[in-house]
Chain A
Amino acid sequence: MNGTNNAGPPRESRPRRPSNAKRNVAFIFALLVIVGSVLSVDIKYERLVDLPAGIWLVVYKMYFERGPDLSYLGVSIEHMVQSIEIAWVGTIIGAVLSLPIGFVAAKNVSSGIISNVFRQVLNGIRAFPELVLAVAIFIPIAGLGPVAGALAIGIHSVGTLGKLTAEVVEGIDAGPVEAARASGGRWVQIQRWGVLPQVLPEIVAFWLYRFEINIRAAAVLGVVGAGGIGFIVQQTIVFGRFPLAGTALLVVIIATILVDTVSGWVRRRIIEGVETRRIVDAEIEQPALVDGSAA
């Protein structure tokens, strides 16, 4: 191995190792935030020791002591059906309101100022969880019950669905829009025939995905009295009737997985290979992340 005369240029040509200073600063900053959080949170750390036992005790009481109380199955299913109905109606409200808003919020088919204003409105709506909307606005308006829950879910959904719709509309092929404009169409006509056909499959997939998320939200609205199975899960746990809680929880899990499966199947029928991450990628706007060509 006569490496010396074939080893290419001498060592001096080797580049210097680039500095990590920026990364280290970011790292230290993150560490400070984390340490600060650990110190500020009032956790009685001695309780951590009892944590596994405590969790096991709850699971044991729900499922193993006497088994889940299956006589509660009917009541649980009835409430879960109501949760699904809340999610369904909420998703429809969200879909109907978000479609026009999403178009208006898309930079390429709307004007700059208007799209910015609507984007901020959508971001604002997204800031409030369903439960906050239910407590602060819709229970006072519609009274306790599932209607308040459906409205809360619907309005919260407008935030994410509107943003997703805008993202998709901004990603369209400009050709058909130009063609529709060239043939003298009005704005609404251009959107209907030039844009909507391109984006509808993806948007419908978003609606279904949102429905899957809304099922989970609708399953907890009951804790503030906005309908659905959350109410009985909370009541049974608070009053220590764990075998009943076990049954209700089981119903939540099975129904949610069922809805996920059916909805996921329909989503894949509508768009080939639509993955959750694509939807989230669109929601959180990460350009140049997915294509791998980031410089």
Chain B
Amino acid sequence: MIVFDHASVTYPGGVHALKDISLEIPDGEMMVIVGLSGAGKSTLIRAINGLVPLTDGDVIVDGVSVRKASGDQLRRLRSKIGMIFQTFNLVKRTSVLNNVLMGRLHTTGTARSLFGWYKPADVEIAMQALERVDIVEKAYVRAANLSGGQQQRVGIARALAQEPTIILADEPVASLDPPTSHVVMRDLQRINRDLGITTIVNLHFLDLAKVYCERIIGLRAGELVYDGTGAQADEGVFRDIYGRSLTADDLLEAPSLT
């Protein structure tokens, strides 16, 4: 379980990215965060694995305080949390398999990892992760030679290879075209259902959010303005979150909503 307890983040420049957020995310939930860019979605997600340090309050992940965790504790916590990025964040010059194996670094000793002598069991886990997102045939191809959608699936495989209990996805489809976006969202949904991994996704597109997620929370200027189901989230709710009416830019496929 993830608990936000009056969590706040103020950046050095004085920007209040998160203001006094309190929130509970039970195990196995698939939750989506919507909001304008700059509303604090990325900050909220990065507060969970400590990539962005809190300035007030706390986030408790499976009973561990992210704010009070030592460097070592934080690394152990992060090893249980997979992360997926808008720009995929793959090492483009190396093979897909090497990228996925980055998810096994946390159980690999320093000397072994420097020379790349991964244990056969770890390679097996990486291969299975690639099979789960249906891209194992590209295992020895350079990541740079893959399409955007394929790269994002490798990114998901890297997160899966950690054998995580939580997956954080920061705008996973923002760099992809609509059909590919659906493939990636379906992958995430499948992983959530089949493996019971708590999945938290930042999305800009509201229609996608409604299709794939039970629970939606809305952020506006760092504040929690909505927390409910996708079914309840109507036009009025979105006006609250966005501070304006919906436009075609807020939808992945303009005609599919309403």
* Chain A residues within CB distance 8 Å of chain B: 1-3, 6-9, 13-15, 17-18, 292-295
Contacts and interface: CB of A to CB of B under 8 A. Distances in A.
A9 B93 contact: no
B139 interface: yes
Task: Give me the 9 closest cross-chain CB pairs, A-B, nearest first.
Answer: A8-B131, A6-B194, A8-B134, A18-B140, A7-B131, A14-B136, A15-B139, A15-B140, A15-B137
Given A2-B194, A14-B139, 11 more contacts: A1-B195, A6-B132, A6-B190, A7-B132, A8-B133, A8-B134, A8-B136, A14-B136, A15-B137, A292-B93, A293-B144
B128 interface: yes
A292 B137 CA distance: 23
Interface of B: 92-93, 127-128, 131-134, 136-140, 142, 144-145, 190, 194-196
A14 B140 CA distance: 10
Contacts of A17: 140
A277 B171 CA distance: 34
Contacts of B127: 14
A1 to B, nearest CB: 6
Nearest to A295: B145
Contacts of A292: 92-93, 144
Given A1-B194, A14-B127, A292-B92, A9 B136 contact: yes
A7 B93 CA distance: 27
B137 A13 contact: yes
A2 B132 CA distance: 12
B122 to A, nearest CB: 15
Contacts of A295: 142, 144-145
Contacts, number: 44
A1 B92 CA distance: 31
B24 to A, nearest CB: 25
Contact of B134 (A2, A9, A14, A18): A9
A3 B190 CA distance: 11
29 contacts: A1-B194, A1-B196, A3-B194, A6-B132, A6-B190, A6-B194, A7-B128, A7-B131, A8-B131, A8-B134, A9-B134, A9-B136, A13-B131, A13-B137, A14-B127, A14-B131, A14-B136, A14-B137, A14-B139, A15-B137, A15-B138, A15-B139, A15-B140, A17-B140, A18-B140, A292-B93, A293-B144, A295-B144, A295-B145
A58 B136 CA distance: 61
Contact of B136 (A6, A13, A18, A294): A13
A11 to B, nearest CB: 8
Nearest to B127: A14
A250 B39 CA distance: 56
Contacts of B131: 7-9, 13-14
A292 B94 CA distance: 11
A2 B196 CA distance: 10
A192 to B, nearest CB: 41
B124 to A, nearest CB: 10
Contacts of B195: 1
A82 to B, nearest CB: 48
A12 to B, nearest CB: 10
A18 B127 CA distance: 15
Nearest to B142: A295
B120 to A, nearest CB: 12
Contacts of A6: 132, 190, 194
Nearest to A6: B194
Nearest to B145: A295
